[in-house]
Amino acid sequence: MTDRIPPADQDRVKIFDTTLRDGEQSPGASMTLDEKLQIATLLDEMGVDIIEAGFPIASEGDFEAVSEIAKVIQNSVVCGLSRASKRDIDRAWEALAHAKRGRIHTFISTSPLHMEYKLQLSPAKVIEKIAESVSHARTLTDDVQWSPEDGTRSEHEFLVEAVTVAIQSGATTINIPDTVGYTAPGESAALIRMLRERVKGIDAVTISTHCHNDLGMAVANALAAVQAGARQIECTINGLGERAGNAALEEVVMAMRVRNDIMPFRTGIDTTRIMQASRLVSNVTGFPVQFNKAIVGKNAFAHESGIHQDGMLKHAGTYEIMRPEDVGLSESNLVMGKHSGRHAFRTKLTELGFDLGDNAFEDAFVRFKALADRKKEVFDDDIIALVSEAKADEAAERIKLKFLRVICGTEAPQSADIILEIDGKEHRHTATGDGPVDAAFNAVKALVPHDARLELYQVHAVTEGTDAQATVSVRMREGGKIVTSQSSDTDTVVASCRAYCHALNKLLVRREKGKPEAMAGE
């Protein structure tokens, strides 16, 4: 079947970014208002068509984030999610009150499993709710998106009926979610084609695709849907999202750009901002980007083996299908070291996608100099790690590591002598443990008693050599709250201790405001 997209829009695919909504649903990826504003501003600047800023009914924090984002975003449409409920929809619209262009996205499940067990509603009742919710949303705005949750596991007959009712009730975008990442590319395309064959009026609305990555096929499924006629892709930076994540924005955008011969579609994305967005989201969430991740991984443009290096030197096209600068990787040859000054450091930060305020810049510069004194060469990745650290320190931190000395070696037990500044007052403790990191963590725990569980402790070397910085990532859980944190230092135990303290600081922020915390000296 040939596509029946109106000729003028034939090749334009809208990018709907849901990093701030579905992305934030990743356990541990919660973001502060300020962080969300930074991400939304960058998404707007890089040409994202629609930013799903949150789920306003979910919490006061989500409501505030959507409304603050709606106030500042200039070009992108700002979208708020809502269930098929009048209260949710009204709350979403209230949050979008100041948006230049606002969209309500309302959804309800249409698969037999979800309707029977989750919603406990008959199919007839679901159809009724679709009509009610979409019509109500249309009384508030003429930009209404509707999604049949678990669409790819829905019965075709019922899906056709549901989509038809949504369009008749006024939906202007129909988004088909592969909620549990179950579909495969051929099936994804066939589903869109089936809907276009059978739903009257569907070509007058935008068809969208929302793919999850449970089987690693999210990007392929989204692109297959586009080839079958979808003209909006829901995606996230770095593929962040519920469980295994969503289709990655950088991958769908670059795939359509690089393979435009077989996927003749265009987006409005300025691809040179991709690395900046990837780093920002990684820094904010503390989720490291997999080294071999397509487009934005540290190794995506790295060539180590001799035959490849030889080919690259003769012609970059031998082993690179896109230019690093097209995704915003700097080609700069500014070599940074202990003789570099503020101008060079500022230029390097800009190239790496960081725009620091004066205080944070000064702090980062001091740390850069200290690192350069300890390390022969300071690589871009060292600077990225160091700036992320400076940004973490910017947050009002109640617990700060002031001093750490460990005794380690073949003779157990290892011990750590530690001084923490807690709410401005210094406290000291010495503890032993099974290794220096365990000893240091025990000392921190003695000074900051808590029940949080350390769920992840991971170390990787940022660059090469025995003087390389180590980046330590930790994930902690306390009740339902999960926080992640990262820290880098040439001393692994120091990086570990700082990451642990940052995570505890985040937990303190997330505990109920106003509740006194039981810490040393209190």
Ligand X SMILES: CC(C)C(=O)C(=O)O
**Residue 249 to residue 75: CA distance in whole angstroms:** 18
Question: Based on CB atoms, which residue is closest to ligand X, 107 or 287?
Answer: 107
107 binds ligand ACO (CB under 6 A): yes
| Binding test (CB under 6 A) with ligand ACO, winner from 4, 86, 87, 118 | 118
CB of 83 to ligand ACO, least distance (A): 3
Determine how β-strand 399-407 pairs with β-strand 414-422. Answer: antiparallel
Question: How many residues appear in the chain?
Answer: 522
Question: Based on CB atoms, which residue is closest to ligand ACO, 180 or 444?
Answer: 180
**Could you tell me which stretch among 68-76, 174-182, 347-355, 514-522 binds ligand X (CB under 6 A)?**
174-182
**Could you tell me which stretch among 82-90, 152-160, 292-300, 491-499 binds ligand ACO (CB under 6 A)?**
82-90
CB of 511 to ligand ACO, least distance (A): 18
For the packed helices 33-45 and 274-285, what is the interaxial angle rounded to 10 degrees? 170
CB of 470 to ligand X, least distance (A): 36
- Among ligand ACO, ligand X, none, partner that 118 touches (CB below 5 to 8 angstroms by kind): ligand ACO
Question: Based on CB atoms, which residue is closest to ligand X, 84 or 160?
Answer: 84
Question: Based on CB atoms, which residue is closest to ligand X, 154 or 285?
Answer: 154
* Site size with ligand ACO, rule: CB under 6 A: 16
Question: Based on CB atoms, which residue is closest to ligand X, 149 or 363?
Answer: 149
Name which of 147, 136, 155 is nearest 198 in CA terms.
Answer: 155
* Residue window 147-176: x/- pattern of binding to ligand ACO, with contact defined by CB under 6 A: --x---------------------------
What region does 312 belong to: left with phi over 0, alpha with psi -120 to 50, or beta? alpha
**Residue 279 to residue 283: CA distance in whole angstroms:** 6
Instruction: List Cβ neighbours of 287 (8 Å cut-off, separation of 6 or more).
Output: 26, 28, 29, 238, 240, 281, 484
Instruction: Determine which helix (DSSP H) or strand (DSSP E) holds 249, and give its type and residue range.
Output: helix 249-258
62 binds ligand X (CB under 6 A): no
Residue 331: both structure tokens together: 């080609």
Please, where are the H alpha helices in 266-379?
Answer: 274-285, 306-314, 342-351, 358-374
Q: Considering only residues 3 through 22, tell me which ones interact with ligand ACO, judged by CB under 6 A.
A: 22
Instruction: Determine which helix (DSSP H) or strand (DSSP E) holds 61, and give its type and residue range.
Output: helix 60-72
Instruction: List Cβ neighbours of 295 (8 Å cut-off, separation of 6 or more).
Output: 248, 250, 251, 254, 274, 278, 327
CB of 427 to ligand ACO, least distance (A): 37
DSSP structure class, residue 116: I
Amino acid in the structure at residue 341? G
- Among ligand X, ligand ACO, none, partner that 57 touches (CB below 5 to 8 angstroms by kind): ligand ACO
End-to-end CA distance of the chain: 72
Amino acid in the structure at residue 189? A
CB of 441 to ligand ACO, least distance (A): 32
Amino acid in the structure at residue 179? T
Contact of 426 with 419, CB cutoff 8 Å = yes
How many angstroms separate the Cα of 45 from the Cα of each of 187, 268, 327, 380?
Answer: 34, 11, 15, 24
- Among ligand ACO, ligand X, none, partner that 210 touches (CB below 5 to 8 angstroms by kind): ligand X
Please, where are the H alpha helices in 141-210?
Answer: 156-168, 185-198
343 annotated to bind ligand: no
**Could you tell me which stretch among 79-87, 189-197, 298-306, 473-481 binds ligand ACO (CB under 6 A)?**
79-87
492 binds ligand X (CB under 6 A): no
* Residue window 40-59: x/- pattern of binding to ligand ACO, with contact defined by CB under 6 A: ---------------x-xxx
| Binding test (CB under 6 A) with ligand X, winner from 164, 179, 271, 471 | 179
For the packed helices 274-285 and 249-258, what is the interaxial angle rounded to 10 degrees? 160
**Could you tell me which stretch among 81-89, 196-204, 358-366, 457-465 binds ligand ACO (CB under 6 A)?**
81-89
Handedness of CA 273, 300, 470, 24 (dihedral sign): positive
Question: Based on CB atoms, which residue is closest to ligand X, 182 or 379?
Answer: 182
Question: Based on CB atoms, which residue is closest to ligand X, 147 or 164?
Answer: 147
276 binds ligand X (CB under 6 A): no
CA 87 to chain centre: 28
- Among ligand ACO, ligand X, none, partner that 397 touches (CB below 5 to 8 angstroms by kind): none
Name which of 222, 356, 268 is nearest 46 in CA terms.
Answer: 268
441 binds ligand ACO (CB under 6 A): no
108 binds ligand ACO (CB under 6 A): yes
107 binds ligand X (CB under 6 A): yes
Residue 261: CB atoms within 10 Å: 6
- Among ligand ACO, ligand X, none, partner that 108 touches (CB below 5 to 8 angstroms by kind): ligand ACO
210 annotated to bind ligand: yes
242 binds ligand ACO (CB under 6 A): yes
- Among ligand ACO, ligand X, none, partner that 147 touches (CB below 5 to 8 angstroms by kind): ligand X
Q: Considering only residues 143 through 162, tell me which ones interact with ligand X, judged by CB under 6 A.
A: 147, 149
SS (H, E, C) 304-331: CCHHHHHHHHHCHHHCCCCCHHHHCCCC
Binding site for ligand ACO (CB under 6 A): 22, 25, 55, 57-59, 83-85, 107-108, 118-119, 149, 179, 242
Binding residue numbers for Mn(2+): 22, 210, 212, 246
Binding site for ligand X (CB under 6 A): 22, 107, 147, 149, 175, 177, 179, 210, 212
Binding residue numbers: 22, 210, 212, 246
